Amino acid sequence: MKILKRALCAFLSAVIAFSVVGFSVYAEKEPLPDNASYVAGDADGDAIINSADALRIVYHSSGQQLMNDVVRRTAADVDNNGELNSTDALYILYYATGKVDSFQRKDYNLSTIAGNITYDPYTGCVIDNEGLGLVGFAYDAKYGVFYATGAGWQRTMGYTELYDRLAAVAFMPLDTIRIKFNYAGMQWMVQLWKGYYGLVLAGCETGFYNRPGDTPENQTTYNVVSEEYHQEMSCKFHYGLSSFNRYSKTWWLTGFSPAVQMSPATTIPMMRVENTINFTDIGLMNAFIEGLEDVDHIFQNYDGEIRPFYFQRGVNYKVTGTTVWFEWQ
């Protein structure tokens, strides 16, 4: 009987192994769609090569979150050996930090617009070949959304409240919330914006900043967080036909879609934003929640006024594991 059981187990194991191998071979030979194109190394489809792509590969190779899109899997196989594993993730990290300047896999079927500016018909992204965008911005043609790459000149500028006040005279009337908290000997701030960006765009932003813990409270300048504190963030912007979704692991999540600028005091309070932040550090998350609950107003840069606003758990913010969802209007 034991011999029979062992033989049966061996047979079932062989069948399972054969099925898995067969599926893997099929997955590797799965044909690319007709409009397939990609930036090599772009595992998450945002046309920017950074640590988020490496993390996406790790999730896939460990089975935590499989990449079902054959184009994304192909683009992520940067060593071009037909396998997707930690070697590809490490290679991408080296590329993102400047330790290597190219991949064995090349960019595929991109359309050149001008100079080094290309269009990826599969993802809909218009971007330069270094992932920096035009003066730090890029365009997702598939969803009609402009966005900041987070890799441009803005990283070096940090943040000061003066930016918000100057934005008002630069045709950018905005609502903003500053979520301030302390953690690990540092002063932190997550800032939220929504409103008009120029005369023909509407959208939102989420920025992640910190500074030394002994900085005087009346100083309004913050630094952009280092890459180790980049968080997985998402936003859903709701304003008539200008609604869109954005997601990235970054320090600065943005999205702007076409909309004619109208009376700010009337229309900007109608714009609604849903945010999520998936924290990599639970201590940082708990500190952020304390700051979230301390919020008591929205600042309107277009008239210099404030209006009362509060985050209430279970009403307009929720916590699930290490993810905080919150909305504001």
Domain residue spans of the chain: 33-148, 157-328
Give the pLDDT score at 286: 98
The predicted-structure confidence for 240-290, as pLDDT tens digits, reads as follows: 877 899 988 889 999 999 999 999 999 999 999 999 999 999 999 999 999
Rounded-to-integer distance, Cα 180 and Cα 221, Å: 13
CATH number of 33-148: 1.10.1330.10
Work out the percent of the chain whose per-residue pLDDT is above 90. Answer: 60
Which of 91-95, 110-114, 147-151, 272-276 holds the top average pLDDT?
A: 272-276
Work out the percent of the chain whose per-residue pLDDT is above 70. Answer: 87
Q: Is the per-residue pLDDT at 103 higher than 90?
A: yes
How confident is residue 29, by pLDDT bands cut at 50, 70 and 90?
low
Q: Is the per-residue pLDDT at 26 higher than 50?
A: no
pTM over 0.75, yes/no: yes
Q: Is the per-residue pLDDT at 148 higher than 90?
A: no
Q: Is the per-residue pLDDT at 137 higher than 90?
A: no
Rounded-to-integer distance, Cα 128 and Cα 185, Å: 38
Contact 56, 67 (CB under 8 A): yes
* Full DSSP string of 239-302: SGGG-EEEEEEESEEEEEEE-----HHHHGGG-EEEEEEE-S-HHHHHHHHHHHHH--EEEETT
Average pLDDT rounded to a whole number, residues 144-155: 78
How confident is residue 153, by pLDDT bands cut at 50, 70 and 90?
low
